[in-house]
Amino acid sequence: MGLTVAQKILKDHIVDGDLFSGEEIGIRIDQTLTQDATGTMADLQFEQMGVPRVKTEVSVSYIDHKTVQMGFEDADDHTYLQTFAKKYGLLLSKPGNGICHQVHIERVGKPGKTLLGSDSHTPTGGGIGMIAIGAGGLDIASAMAGLPFYLPAPKIVGIKLTGKLNPWVTAKDIILKVLQIMTTKGNVGKIVEYFGDGVKTLSVPERGTITNMGAELGATTSLFPSDETTLAFLKAQKREADWVSLEADPDAEYSEIIEINLSELEPMIAKPHNPDNVVRVRDVEGTPVDQVMVGSCTNSSYKDGKTVAEIMKGKTANPNLSFGYAPGSKQVLRMLADEGELSNIVASGARVLESACGFCIGAGQSPRNNAISIRTNNRNFYGRSGTVTAKIYLVSPETAAACALTGVITDPRDLETKFGIQYPKVDIPEQFTVDDSMLLQPAPESEAASIELYKGPNIVDPPGGESLAQDIVGEVTGKFGDKITTDDIMPAGDLLKYRSNVPKYSEYVFIKRDPTFATRCLENKKMGVHNVIVGGDNYGQGSSREHAALCPMYLGVKVVVAKAIERIHRANLINFGIVPLTFKNPDDYDKIDQNDKIKIPNIRKALLEDSKEVMLVDETKNLSIPLTYSLTERERKTLIGGGKMKLAKDFPGKSFQEIKFDN
C-alpha cells in the first residue's frame, strides 16, 4: 500500500509506537513556534525543566498578539521573551514583523518537517507541506526540550480537488465549503490531506488559507503536497534550498475521500456564531453591514492585500461602515507600499492596522452594539470580537471588498455589473521583498550563561499541580452548554496582559458566562471541596490557549465532564491534571444541574487499573451516572501524577514506562 503525504512525514519522524496500529504515537518535532499570548507561560515552563538550550532544529518566538501594549504588562512580557530567546537559542520575531503563521510560512517553514505551535492555527504550515500541529504551551516547552509529541495514530481524510476556481471564487470559499461538509464536530484524530488536479491550480498563500482554517474542523492538522508550486514560492522567498518534493503515492489510501469540484463552487459565507454555519453569499445578500475587516492569519498574504487594493482602486467604501485592513507581515506591508497598492486601500477610506492578530482575537476594532461585521478571519464565536451583541460573518477578501463598497452583504461577482470592476488576477511575484532585520538571532551558546532574564512584576512562575485524589468529592461549580469555546473559558482581548500571571488571570475564568465562577471555585478550594465542570458537545473548541486548563486547575477544578471534548483542550486538561470524562449516555447531561453535590469514588484506582468507566454519584438528586474515558497509559499516569510539570519534577529523567504509582 502506498503512503499519503502525511504518512510519509510521520513515518520519517516517529520515535514511539506504530503509525498503523491505531494507537498513540510519539513524533520528533523539528520546529516550534510560540506567540506572546501563549509564549511567556511556555517559556516559564521551559525554564523549570532546566534544559540549557532548545533542542529543536529551529524555534521561533513571535510577538504578534499583544502589540498594542496597553499598560506595562505586555511590554514587560515582550522584553522577557526577547531575553529568553537570546539566552535559550530561539529566533525572535519583533512586534511589527508580522503574524506568526504568515511570517513562518514566508521565512521559516520547510516542506517535510514537523512544526508544533502554541497557537491553534499552526496548521497554516501545511500549506507548504509540513505536519504543523497546534498544541498547548506546555507541549511546546517539552518539544523545545527535545521530548517527543504524542498524538493518536491519525486517520487521513483525503479531499480531492478537481477543476479550477472561477473568477471571484477563492481559497476561502473552498475551506468554508469543507466546513459546511465536515462541520466543526467529529474530526478529532483526523488529518485532512488535499490531493487531485485542482491542487496545482492553487498558490501557496491560497493553500495556507485552507490549512489555516482547517483548525476550525477540530482536526489534528491539514496539509498539501510539496510540488513545483511550493518550489516557486520558496524560490521567490530566496529559500529554494529548503524545498523537497512530497506527493502522495498513486496507490495511497485514505480513510474517507471528499471530492470538491472547484469549477462548481460559489462565494460562501459563515454566519454567526460558528465557522461551520456556512451558506452561499447569495443566500444572505442585501443584509446591511456596519463593519468590514480584512486581514488575520487566514487572509493577510500579499495576494489577499493586492486583490483588495485592486478592487478598491479609485473607489470609496460605503460611508455608513467602518473599514480596516491589516497586512499579515512587514513583507506584505512593504511590498504593497512600494507598489502603490497600499495607497489604493488608504484612498478607499480604510484604516491600515498593525501587522498583528488584532481584531481577530478582540484586541481592538470591536464593533458597535448589535453590529454586523464582515471579516476575513477564521472564527466568529459569540463575543470573540469584543462585542457580545455583534454578529460576525466570515468571508473571502473579495467578498469583504464587495461589502465595503456596497454597505450590504454582496456577492463579489456582482461587482462587474454594479461597478464595472473586472476580477483582478494577482500572481505570486517572482521575487518577494526579503528583510529579516526584525527576526533576531539568539546569542551564541558560549554567551548564554551571562544573559539575565528580564521579569517584570506581572510575570509569575506557573503554579504546580496536585496528585489525583482517590475520590472526587465536590460540586458542579459550572454547567455550560454546547460549543463552549476556549474564548468562553478564558477571554482574550484586553485581558491578554495577564497571561503570565495565573492567579490574576484566573479571576476571569468564564467571566462572560458566569461572573461568579472563579470566586465560588476559590471558596470551594479553600474548604477542600473539589470543583467539577459539566459541558455539552464540542467543549473547549477553538484556540489552543492552555490557560483554559491552567487557570481552572489553579481554581481547584479537578474534572471536566462533557458530551465531547475537543482535541487540544483535552490534551491541555490532561497536561494540568484535570480529568476529562464523557457521559456514557449523552442524555444524562440533562440530569445534572449547577451546584449539585457530587462524588466520583475510586477515580484514582479506576485510572490505575484502566477500567474505562467511573460512576458519578449526584448526591443532591440521588442519581448514579456512568461516565467513560479513553486515555493512553501515558495520559493516565500524567493525570494520576498531577499533571505534566509535576510528573517531570517527581520523576526526573524517567520514561512513562518506568513511572509507578501506589493505589
SS3 54: coil
Our answer to whether residue 107 is catalytic in this structure is no
Place of cell 532548545: 54
Of the candidates 30, 43, 74, 119, the residue annotated as catalytic is: 119
Q: Are 546 and 572 in contact (CB under 8 A)?
A: yes
Q: Are 397 and 307 in contact (CB under 8 A)?
A: yes
Our answer to whether residue 64 is catalytic in this structure is yes
Q: Which whole-number Å values give the CA distances from 358 to 98, 362, 385, 438, in the listed order?
A: 11, 7, 10, 19
Q: Which residue from 575, 572, 551, 573 is spatially nearest to 503, judged by alpha carbons?
A: 551
Burial class (CB in 10 A: 0-12, 13-18, 19+), 527: exposed
DSSP H or E segment with residue 115: strand 114-117
What is the phi-psi region of residue 568: left when phi exceeds 0, alpha when psi lies from -120 to 50, beta otherwise? alpha
Q: Which whole-number Å values give the CA distances from 173 to 207, 224, 270, 485, 637, in the listed order?
A: 12, 17, 10, 24, 43
Our answer to whether residue 65 is catalytic in this structure is yes
Our answer to whether residue 379 is catalytic in this structure is yes
Of the candidates 545, 547, 634, 636, the residue annotated as catalytic is: 545
Q: Which whole-number Å values give the CA distances from 205 to 121, 483, 508, in the listed order?
A: 14, 30, 37
**Which residues have CB under 8 Å from 99's CB, separation 6+?**
62, 64, 296, 297, 300, 328, 329, 355, 356, 357
Our answer to whether residue 413 is catalytic in this structure is no
411: Cα separation from own chain's centroid? 29
Of the candidates 239, 375, 379, 634, the residue annotated as catalytic is: 379
Place of cell 486581514: 295
Of the candidates 93, 396, 543, 544, the residue annotated as catalytic is: 543
SS3 429: coil
Q: Are 159 and 258 in contact (CB under 8 A)?
A: yes
How far is 199 from 208, CA to CA, in rounded Å?
Answer: 12
- Give me the torsion for CA of 365, 368, 371, 373, rounded to 10°: -10
What are the grid coordinates assigned to 364, written together? 481592538
Of the candidates 13, 65, 375, 567, the residue annotated as catalytic is: 65
How far is 64 from 354, CA to CA, in rounded Å?
Answer: 9
How far is 575 from 588, CA to CA, in rounded Å?
Answer: 27
Rounded to 5°, angle at Cα 182 from 117 and 571: 35
Our answer to whether residue 119 is catalytic in this structure is yes
Of the candidates 36, 64, 74, 290, the residue annotated as catalytic is: 64
Active site residues: 64-65, 119, 379, 543, 545
